Amino acid sequence: VEGWAGCVVEHVITRTVRDSAAVLDATAGADPGSHHAAGAPERPFLDEVGASPGRLKIAFSAVPGIPAEVDPDCLEAMESAAAQCEELGPDVTEETPPVDAEAFEKAFVTLLAGEVAADVREAERAAGRKAGSADIEPTTAMLRLLGDAMPAGEYSAAVRELKRTSRTMSGFFEKYDMLLTPTTATPAPRVGALLPSGVQLAALKAVIGLRAGWLLRAAGVLERESRPSLAFSPFTMLFNASGNPAMSVPLHWSGDGLPIGVQFVAPLHDEAALFRLAGQLEEARPWCDKRPPVWAGAETVTAEAARA
């Protein structure tokens, strides 16, 4: 069902373009009672894999949808993908969609707080009791407090700001068939790297204990605490809000052997174009059998545990 005012999308991570297309063929379509539904595709998405994408006009941009620094590895991944696209035939041009990054960030984190507050309330109703400190993480508790303290008009204004991105992107895609960006602003972080530090966590728990959402809002905690996690993926959230279909393909690898994805975004309801291009890219730069060194180490540990 629709979640977070349409910003939540469910799909799968696969090793091949074929598998991603097959799953979408099995799951696409409106759920009962849906207010919004894409039209039926002209043919199965699986048939698009291997089909010619035609002569595309592709824009590329390293400017994120919200303010963030972009790691050189991720920039290199995008530039390499742009060069690969040129080799395959598309016209490739550098251009950035005209989005107000600061206004978008403020609207997105406002939506985040309001939706998390609603999520916790629904969970409490389902459980038949109030959520305690052992039930939800401190960051979630903070967002819940902020969401509960938020005026309804402020939430509505944020939703409207996010929905305006659909109009902005529709105008952009009148000029281009596809947009290429990095998928994330940094290579994959270590587990826990995006969580609050010890000092931050202690301060967070102290304020949560006061249950003073108004105090958190006055102190600007929402923007400050959410920025590190949002800064990891500042390129993807724009299209959660606009509704444009997007894909991440692992065409590049860091010096440490980690896969680095690049994001391709298509006009509304044109998933087929993504699958056609993805099939071509997969053939040019196969990734299915590649494994990062950390993966090999994990497989060894798992095998040893199984023998034990």
pLDDT tens-digit profile of 162-174?
999 888 999 999 9
| pLDDT tier, 44 (very low <50, low <70, confident <90, very high otherwise) | very high
Residue with tokens 């291009």: 277
Find the largest Cα–Cα distance for the chain.
60
- CB count within 10 Å of CB 264 equals 25
Percent of the chain with pLDDT over 90: 54
Provide the residue type at 231 as one letter. A
Query: d(Cα 295, Cα 277) in Å, to the nearest integer?
Result: 28
Report yes or no: 27 and 55 within 8 Å, Cβ to Cβ: no
Burial 118-155 (b: 16+ CB within 10 A, else e): bbbeeeeeeeeeeeeeeebebbebbbbbbbbbbeeeeb
pLDDT (0 to 100) of residue 200:
60
- Mean pLDDT throughout 175-200? 83
| pLDDT tier, 83 (very low <50, low <70, confident <90, very high otherwise) | very high
The pair of three-digit structure tokens given for residue 115, joined into one six-digit string? 């939706």
pLDDT at 236 over 60: yes
pLDDT at 6 over 90: no
Lowest mean pLDDT among 49-63, 149-163, 200-214, 246-260: 200-214
Report yes or no: 188 and 257 within 8 Å, Cβ to Cβ: no
Q: Considering only CA atoms, which of 5, 38, 106, 95 is closest in space to residue 271?
A: 38
**Per-residue CA distances from 239 to 77, 140, 177 (Å):** 20, 23, 15
Report yes or no: 261 and 184 within 8 Å, Cβ to Cβ: yes
Q: Provide the CA 305 distance to its chain's centre, in angstroms.
A: 34
| pLDDT tier, 246 (very low <50, low <70, confident <90, very high otherwise) | very high
pTM score of the predicted model? 0.87
- First-to-last C-alpha distance (Å) of the chain: 43
| pLDDT tier, 196 (very low <50, low <70, confident <90, very high otherwise) | low
pLDDT (0 to 100) of residue 137:
82
Residue with tokens 């309804």: 152
User: What letter does residue 30 receive in the DSSP assignment?
Assistant: P
